[in-house]
Amino acid sequence: MQKIFKEIKLTQDMKKMTLFYLVFTILLFSLPFIQAQNNTLIIEKVAIYDVVTMEEVNIPAEYNVTIKNPNNYDDFFKIYTLLEASLGPASTQSVPAGLETTFTVILLPYDILKERCGEGTCKVQYYLKADRTGVIEDSFTIKILSLEKIISADVPTSIARDDSVLVFDVKNKENINLGEIQFTFESEFSTTEQTFSLEPKSSQKIELELDTGKLKTSKAGDYEAELKFLINDEYEHVVKKIITLEEITSIKTDESSKFTFFGFTKTITKKNEGNSPKFVTIEIIKNKFEHGFTSSSIPPTSEEPSGAIVSMKWQRELEPGESFSVEIHTDYTIPIIILILIIIVAVGIYLVKRPRLIVKKKAFKIQTKGGEFAIKLVLLVKNIGQQITNVKCTDRLPHMLKIYERFGASKPDKIEKNTLFWKFGDLMPGEERVVSYIIYSKVVPVGTITIPKAVVSYINKKDMRKVVSSNSLLVMGEPEE
C-alpha cells in the first residue's frame, strides 16, 4: 500500500515538473516575439499602379505605403533596395510614437531587372531602415508586361467601298498610367494624328475620316495600317494591322443601235464599276445569212457556229474603272441589191411568160320554182396579150348535176354527155368572151360540190397552141349530219 502511494505521489510530481517546463518554454520563445512587436514598425501597402512595361518606358509603379509606429518613441526611416531598380522617395521619413505616416513609393525596375524577371509577376525586395527600430525587409509585387499586352486596338478587319468613317477603340488593359499619348494612324485610306489620355483599364474611341476617293478607285484586297503610340514623349510603340477592302462586283452594260439606209450598227460597252479585275464577255448571235454581212470594230475572240446560227464572242479582263466597247455593223446593201435584181428578173420572166389569156369561172346558187338545187356558172375569157386565133373552150359538168338546156346567146357549139364546147374564133388584144349556163339536180347534194376547171386553147402569134385553165370552185350542198 505504501509502495503504491509513493508511486502515485511521484507521478503527480512529474506532472507538475512537466507543466512547469512547458510554461517556461512558451515564455522563453514568446519573449522575442513580444519584444519585436513592441520594437518593429508595421508596414501596409496598397498598389496605385502595379504594372511596368518591358520596353524602355520610364513609367514607374506606384504604391501608397503606410508606416505604423506602435512604440512609445518617434522614429525616422529611409526606404531603399539593393536590386537594379529606382525606388523613392530618397528622403528621410518620420513616424511619431504611437501614430502612422502615409507616403507614395515610386518603383521603376531597370532593364537588367526586367530581363531577369521576364514577363509576368515579379517581387522586388526593399528595406526600411529606421533609426531606432532597425532594418525591416519587405517586397513589392509588380507585373512586367510588353506594350503589346497592355495596349490593344480593335481596328475593323474589313471596310466597304462606300464607308466614310473608320471607328475603333484603343484600350489600356492593365493597371498602368500611360498618361497622354500622341497617336498616329497611317494607311492607304487615312492618315491622322491625335492626342488623348489613356488611364489605367480604360479605352479611347477613335473615329477616322476615310479618303472616299481612294476607296472608290482602289482594288479589293488587303492593305496594311500602321498605328503609332508615342508614350511618355520617349518611346514609340508600333502596331500593324491588315484591313481588307471588301470586293464589289459590278459590270455595267450599255447598248445602243444606229440604223443606216440598208443596215445598222450596234455598239456594246461593258464597264467594270467594281473594285476587282473581272473577265467580261460580249456576245452577239447571228444567223448564218446575217453573219456573212456582219463586221466588227475589233476581231472577235471566238466564233462558234451551231446549226443555223453563229455565236460571236469578245472577251477581255477589265481592271476597276476600265471599259471595253465593240461596234458590230450589219450591212444589208449587197443582199438587198441581189434581192432587187432577183425581183426584177422574176417580174421580167413573169411578164414574158405570163398567160396571154385570162380564164375565170364564177358560181352562183339560184332558186327554182320546183325547189331543185341549181347553180349558175359564168365563164370569162379575156385576151390581155397580142391577137390570138382559133380560141376554143371546153368545160365539164360536175358529177350528178345536169345542164339546163336554155342558153340564150351563150349556147355551146357542142354538148357531148357532160362536156360543153365553145368556139370563140379570134380574140383581139383586150377582147373578151362571157358565157353562162345553169346546172341543177332534183336532189340536193350532200357536202361540197367541186366545179371542174374550164380549159381554153388558142394559137398565139408564133403559131403555137397554148392551153390555159380556169380556177376550180367549191359549192356547198346540204350540210352533212
pLDDT value for 190: 93
Which one of 191, 223, 245 terminates a domain? 245
Give yes or no: residues 302 and 410 share one domain: no
pTM: 0.58
Q: Is residue 131 domain-shared with residue 151, that is, in the same domain?
A: no
Is position 349 within any domain? no
pLDDT tens-digit series, residues 113-127 = 999 999 999 999 999
Q: What is the pLDDT of residues 418-433, one digit of tens each?
A: 899 999 889 899 899 9
Q: Within a domain: residue 395?
A: yes
Cβ-proximal residues to 58 (8 Å cutoff; 6+ apart), any chain: 108, 232, 234
Under a CB-based contact definition with an 8 Å cutoff, are residues 87 and 65 in contact? no
Q: 270 in a domain, yes or no? A: yes
pLDDT of residue 281: 93
Last residue of a domain, one of 301, 334, 367: 334
Residues 220 and 264 in one domain: no
Q: Do residue 178 and residue 218 come from a single domain?
A: yes
- Residue 291: the pLDDT is 84
> Is 347 among the domain residues?
no
Same domain, 29 and 56: no
* Count of C-beta atoms within a 10 Å radius of residue 229: 19
pLDDT digits (tens, 9 = 90+) for 222-251: 999 999 999 999 999 999 999 999 998 889
Based on the domain organization, do 369 and 454 belong to the same domain?
A: yes
- Considering the domain architecture, whether residues 136 and 174 belong to the same structural domain is answered as no
Is residue 348 in some structural domain? no
Do 112 and 81 belong to one domain? yes
Measured CA to CA, the distance from residue 270 to residue 477 in angstroms comes to: 68
Residue with cell 456576245: 283
How far is the C-alpha of 49 from the C-alpha of 410, rounded, in Å?
137
For residue 154, give the CATH number of its domain: 2.60.40.10
Same domain, 119 and 168: no
| Phi, psi (deg, nearest 5) at residue 168 | -160, 170
Number of compact structural domains in the chain: 5
Instruction: Note whether 461 and 370 are same-domain residues.
Output: yes
Identify residue 390 by its one-letter amino acid code: N
**What is the CATH number for 368?**
2.60.40.740
Domain span holding position 24: 1-36
Do 137 and 161 lie in one domain? The reply is no
**What local confidence, expressed as pLDDT, does residue 249 receive?**
87
> Which pLDDT score, from 0 to 100, does residue 34 have?
35
Number of neighbouring beta carbons within 10 Å of residue 415: 15
Residue 415: inside a domain: yes
Cell of 174: 492593365
Report d(CA 198, CA 175) in Å as an integer.
11
**Whether residues 48 and 139 fall in one domain:** yes
pLDDT value of residue 480: 52
Taking 50 as the pLDDT cut, the residues of the chain under it are: 1-38
